[in-house]
Every structure is written in structure tokens, then in C-alpha cells.
Structure 1
């Protein structure tokens, strides 16, 4: 990078340090010439400001000028006293007070020469940094190594962060400090960003753009490697998605994954209606899972994807809530996920059915992002989730039809069944006498033409009430 001390070391410029000797490591990002008494609106951080001091007329003029440069974070002031009989002492004092390096320009040196030389230095530095980054990328450096090289060139820590907030890679273990953000290119449903702990001047911005581009290329390479690794599981995912194939075919397809036969797995199903990002969503959620993961789109569309997740340790109890929180940061349409299992290969088909039913249950919620585990819903709800809407509505109408016009009786029946058919417990909840409760249940039975004390009738009614929910 180009520093103030770099300019002092250029013999052809013959610059003389007048103030700020302890600030020579300030980084110069661009150059700006001004004769305005207050150039505040035109200044930018890291600028080397050139001035012939035409704005200086009387005592006190230096203070507001230097204060404006200091507030903007300028790297230094290079001033010529050719028209003022030398550098005014008050300018030197103001620069010392505001901690701004002051360089005196020889009276016979044109500002055009200084500008040309500084621009060349900035371009050379930027070009050198880009070449070193390209060299690191050509050597197939890891994403972390690439960021470390970028951090060295920019003089600031760097992170790559996904749209869910996940830190993909970093040049340091420290959490991201977001001072500048550069979007990483590529056609991905879940974009990445390069976060740099520095405000970027023009030269540094070019380096950061180059780094972001190389990160995008590294991501594309990783995508290709991951896709090749996932192909071994394609036949197994296709069998699970279609619910077809014999047990022998399932076992053979499972063996292709290279996992031991007794491996426990979770099955995940993701649906992103109207969006081609289901597989990428699952890949994002499982990116840091320590065990083997296989993600694929075994169906006909890109809005549904399956994942098989090997488990060497218990599945986190809060996984669903954590996943929902992460995905809530994504824009766009709905994201629905269902999970099933755990199960070994012998129970894998059942786990996939459970996951499919769970994702249907997720779709019935009003939430834009919904993650449902088969363990979160009772078996009766899991069964209902897998039933077609027409069948569910027919069940509701057949079992509850006469009660649908009597909401008070419908509520009484619901409370009665939720209290295991106990009149005393139901009456207590409803704050009525137990005889009143019995009368209401008898009346409901008359309307339904059914005996509400019969266990099988109670099960059928409870299923129908669950459909209503």
C-alpha cells in the first residue's frame, strides 16, 4: 500500500515533513487538489490533499481548513508556500493539533508532477496486489488462505459471509467487523459478501473487488467438487423421493454412499415454491455439519430437494428454531423444510415419508419460513399431513358436519376429547357444572348420530377436529 512515508521517500518529489512525524503510516488512497477555504463536501478518507494555500489570507484561516481535512480522515496535506512566502506557522500548528501530516512542496515543483507520481504509485501498488491475489488463486489456495492474502494486501481483516449471516471463511478467528462490504458475484440463491474491516479508498476498493471476484470463482470450484461428490447418492435420493424400489435396491443404493450400514441418518425435505433454491437452502443449513451430508434434487423441479445427514452425535434439539432464524434473513418467497428420522438404512423409507409429511405440515402454517420435525407433531397430525386436501376436508365434513353450525357445542366436544373424555375435567376447564357438560355432550351425540363415549368415535372426531386446526 502507498503510505505517506512512501511519498517522502520519492527523491524526485523532494517533499519535506513539517508536522505529523508519527503519522507516516497513514495510507494514501487518492489525490485531490483544492484552494477552497472549506473543502469539506469534496473530501474523502485517505486522500492526499494538495494546496497552494491561495485560501490563506489572514490569521485564523488555517484552523477551519485543517479541521475539515482531519474530520474527513485525509491521509496528509501537501502544501506549497510559493505564493505565501513559505508555510505559515499557524498551518503547522493546526496540523499538529489535528494530527494531520503536513508535507512542504518545493516552490519549483509542479503539482502536475506530484499528481502523476502519486497516481503511478497507487496504480503500481494496486496492480501488484491484484497480481499476488491472482497468483494465490491460481495455486488453488483455500478460501481461508485467499482471504489471508487479501487481508495482507488491504491491511485489514477480511471475512466471507453468507446471506444467512454464516461466516463462510475468515482471515482471522475474530467475529466480523463490518466497515466495508463488497458483494461476491455468481448466480446463487444465497449470495455471499466480502466484509473488510476498513473503509476502502479507490485503490483498496479495486483490490477488494478483485478479491471478491476470486472468492466467487473459488465458490464455483467448490460447487463443482460438491456436485461430483453428491452424485453417488442420486440413486438413493431418487428411490426415497419416489417411494419406489425394493429393500434390496435401497440397500444397494445406500452402499454407494460409502457409509457404514448401521449409520443413523436424518432425512430433510425442502420446498421453495416458485423458487429454484431448495438444494442451496439445504446446503447452506448443513454447511457446517461435521458428518457426511448428501443433497440432491431427485424430483422434476428445482423447488424441492432432499438431504441425507449422517449422525455421529445427537441431532440438536433446537435445530428447527435455529434453521428458521437463519433462513429468516433471506428474502424471497416461502421456505418450507421437514425432517424425519433418525433411522438406519432399514428405516430410511419411513424417515423420508415422515420428512415429506412434515414439510406438508409446514406448508399449512402461515409463516414464510417454516421448519417442522416429525417429532414436533403428533402421529395423528403426521398422518393427516400426508393426506390429500380433498380427503382431509371430506373427513372433516363427514364427521363434524352437523356440529359446524353450533360453534359452542363444537368447542365443548374439543375440550371434552382433549381431556381424555372426562366430563369432570372438561367441565372444570369450561367453568360449567358437570351435568351441563354431560347434557352438551349428549346433545352433540344426537346431532352427530354417534356415541361420544365410544373410544373409536372419539378418535375419529379428534382427527376431524385436528383437520379444522
Structure 2
């Protein structure tokens, strides 16, 4: 990495520090020559600004110029005297005030020589940085990031498209979900983002804490390639999970991304089956933030919807069957991302979700047929009355209150419905059959 101090050691330049001597470790990324009185719009962070001070006419002129350097994050100002008296005092004072290192260029030294020497130093540093980074190619991601951060002079992170920080040298300065959202929408932000190589459905991102020069961007791309190799090398081998497990069923409607998404969601899981849109995996740990993570990655995928069903801990075959049913429950709910754990599904709903649409329709017709026909012919709504009655645990008083009718009216309607159904709606087994048939109609085919 080239720093301001590095430039002081370049042979033949004879640069002399005049201000900011405690700031000489600042990295230099490029050189920019200007004689504008306010060059702010043309400056970038990390630049060495070279000026002959032709814009300086009188005391006070230095303030807007140096302030612009400070706002842009310039690394330093290298200047030759505006006249034979050398650098004006107010330029030195402004640099001290705005904490901009000031290097005095000998008045007999051509700016073309300074520019050439600095460019060569930056090129040599860039080449050395790539070689030092490549030397750590077999190291863990954390080591790669530390090396890259040192070479770039900027903090670095590796982020998962699920909204997880895979590794980082410091705490991320903003929510990781916000970083992924900005990347998905190609929105500008305070971080520079590059995709990690590898072509996974769930991308990893390199995030760098600032704007990059051309040389820095090349080094960041080198980092992205090395992290991609490390990610592929660290792919978890298949194994076995002992004891009871959760099984997770995940469907990416309209795409074959389910396998990659499930592997990223459950890095310690065991893939059980994968068939394009739908994959199953067993896991000892279910992330409580899974719904948020899937919502974060959804804009980065081709899938029209992401559906997920999760079993409770159980023997694998039992958990697998439960996950399959909860996935069907998820498929019948609205939303682009739907996650349904089994504990959110009533037992009868879980059973009905696993039944084919034809079986559910046959159950409804066989049990409720006479009542449905009566309602259609008489323009009544006994089906609704029966449902409210059963959802009130068979209490005439509660059901009558819910329907805003007299309790005797409610009893008459329930009796009439029972006659039509050939069932005793005060008996538990008959109530169960009728309620299952009613709920079967809630399950879209």
C-alpha cells in the first residue's frame, strides 16, 4: 500500500512535510493535478492533490480550496510555492485546521516528474499487493480479508445474500439487509460492492468501506476471486445427523434454485432430496431469522415465490413427511416469501394439506352434500351456522351470541342441519367429521 510517508521516501522528489505530520500513514490511491480554486467536484477519496497554487492571490484564498480537499477525503496536498517566498502561511494553517497533510515540492522540480514517480510507485504497490494477497490464497476468508484491508487501506467484509456477515475486519457500519437490498436494486451507497465469483444462486458479496481507485478495484476483484475459491473449497461434505432432526422443505417457484438456497440457509444441514424447484434437508438447528433471511435474498433470485415448510424435531422419516405437508400449507398462503413451521399449523390442517385435492373435495361432498344442496335450494346458510357452532366448541349460547340470534333459534338450526346430515352435532365424533369436511373446503385444490 502506498502512503503519504511512502511518497516522502521516493528518490529525487525531495518532498518536505509542512503540515499534518501525524497523518502520513494515509493511503494514496491516485494523483490529481489542479489549479482550480475549488476543485471539490473533481476530487476522490485517497488522492494526492498536486498544485502550483496558481489559484492563490491573497490570505483567505486557501480556506475553500483546502476545505474541498477535506470534504473529498483527499490523502494529502503536494504544493510548490506560489512565488519565491514559498507556500503561503494561510495554506499551511488551513491544512493544519482541516487535517490535510501538506508536502512542499521543490520549486525547481517539474510536476511531470512528480506525477511520473507517484504513478510508478502506485503501480508497483498495486502489483505487490496482488502478489501478497495471492500468497494468502489458501488461507481462511478472515485472513484474506485482513490482508486485503491492509493493502486497500479500507475495511472489508464478506456478506451472504441471505443477509449474513460471513466475515469482516470491523463491525459493518449499516444493517447487512440494507446492503443486500441496495445491491439488488443497484442503488448507490457508502460501500463498494462486488459479487464473489462462483455462480451460486445465493451470492456472496465483497463490501469495501469506501470508493475505490482503479488499482483498488482491481485488488478487490482479485479478493472476490480468491474468496470464491475458498467458498467452493469449504463446501460441506455430506454426512449423517444423529437423533431427532428438523426437516426443511423449500420450494423456489419457477426456478431450480432451491438446492443452493437451502444449502446457504442451513450450512450445517444434510441435503436429503433435490428436484429442481423443491429440495429437502435435515438440520439440527433451524435459524429463527430464516423468514427475514429468505425475504432478504428473494430479490436476488429468479424464483417467483419462496415457500418453506419446517417440521418439529422428530425421527427423520416422520419429520420429512411433516415438512412435506407444511410446505403444501405454505403454498396455499399468499406472499412472495412464506415460511410455515409445523407448530403454526393445526393438526387437522396438516392432515388436510397432505391429502390430494380430489380426496378433500370428495370428503366435503360426502359429508356436507345434503346441507350444501339445502342451502342452495332454500337460500339459507346452515353451513355457516354449523361452522360457527363447532368453532364455539359446540356451545349454543356462544354460537348464538356470535351469530346474533336467539339461542332457541340456534338450537333449531343445528337440529335441522343434523337431520339433513344424518349426524348428531352434539356428539364429538360427528362434530369431528363435519368440521374436517368444512375445513377441507378451505384448502384450494
- Assess if the C-alpha contact under 8 Å between 1:176 and 1:195 holds in 2: no
Correspondences of 1:258-407 after superposition (within 5 Å): 263-287=243-267, 289=268, 293-298=269-274, 301-309=275-283, 311=284, 319=287, 322-330=289-297, 331=299, 332=301, 333-344=304-315, 348-400=316-368, 401-402=372-373, 405=376
The change in CA–CA distance for 1:281 and 1:355 in structure 2 (over 3 A counts) is same
- 1:171-207, Cα deviation, whole Å (9 max, x unpaired): 45x4566743332222111111122344434433332
Per the alignment, do residues 427 and 302 of structure 1 end up closer, same or farther by CA in structure 2, a change over 3 Å counting?
Answer: same
Q: Residue 403 of structure 1 contacts residue 410 of structure 1 at CA under 8 Å; is this kept in 2?
A: no
Aligned residue in 2 for 1:204: 216
Choose the corresponding residue for 1:220, options 232, 245, 250.
Answer: 232
Q: What is the rounded CA distance, in whole Å, between the counterparts of 1:52 and 1:423 in structure 2?
A: 95
Matches within 5 A, 1:224-243: 226=236, 229-230=237-238
Query: C-alpha distance in 2, partners of 1:28/1:391?
Result: 72
Q: What pairs with 1:82-231 in structure 2 (closer than 5 Å)?
A: 86-137=86-137, 140-171=138-169, 174-175=171-172, 179-223=191-235, 226=236, 229-230=237-238
Q: Are residues 188 and 176 of structure 1, via their aligned partners in 2, closer, same or farther at CA, if it must alter by over 3 Å?
A: farther
Runs of 4+ in structure 1 deviating by more than 6 angstroms, as ranges, are: none
Distance in 2, matches of 1:143 and 1:216, equals 10
Tell me, yes or no, if the aligned pair for 1:269 and 1:355 is still in contact at 8 Å.
yes
Per-residue CA shift, 1:370-422, capped at 9, x if unaligned? 22233332222111111122332343344443366567533321121122322
Residue pair 1:357, 1:386 contacting (<8 A) in 2 also: yes
State the 1:118 CA deviation: 0.8
Do 2:326 and 2:340's aligned partners in 1 also have CA atoms closer than 8 Å?
yes
Unaligned runs of 5+ in 1: 233-256
Q: State the Cα deviation string for residues 227-246 of structure 1 (Å, max 9, x = none).
A: xx22x6xxxxxxxxxxxxxx
1:32 aligns with 2:6: no
Please, which moves more after superposition, 406-415 or 206-215? 406-415
CA distance in 1, matches of 2:380, 2:163: 46
Unaligned runs of 5+ residues in structure 2 are: 175-189
Q: Is the partner of 1:50 in helix, strand or coil?
A: strand
In the alignment, structure 1 residue 64 sits paired with structure 2 residue 31: no
SS in 2 for 1:161: strand
Q: Distance in 2 between matches of 1:337 and 1:195?
A: 29
Q: For residues 413-424 of structure 1, what are the structure 2 equivalents within 5 Å?
A: 413-424=386-397
Contact kept? 1:52, 1:83, Cα under 8 Å? no
Is 1:444 matched up with 2:421? Answer: no
Task: Give the match for residue 439 of structure 2.
Answer: 466
- In the superposition, the TM-score normalised over structure 1's length comes to 0.82
Quote the Cα distance in structure 2 between the aligned partners of 1:457 and 1:377: 22
Separation in 2 of the partners of 1:82 and 1:343? Answer: 81
Contact 1:180 1:198 in 2 (8 A): yes
What is the count of residue pairs matched by the alignment?
418
1:238 counterpart residue number:
none
C-alpha distance in structure 2 between counterparts of 1:216 and 1:404, whole Å = 64
Q: Distance in 1 between matches of 2:86 and 2:380?
A: 94
* RMSD between superposed Cα atoms in Å: 2.5
CA deviation vs aligned residue, 1:124-182 (integer Å, no higher than 9, x gap) = 11111111111111xx212222222223323444321111111222345x456674333
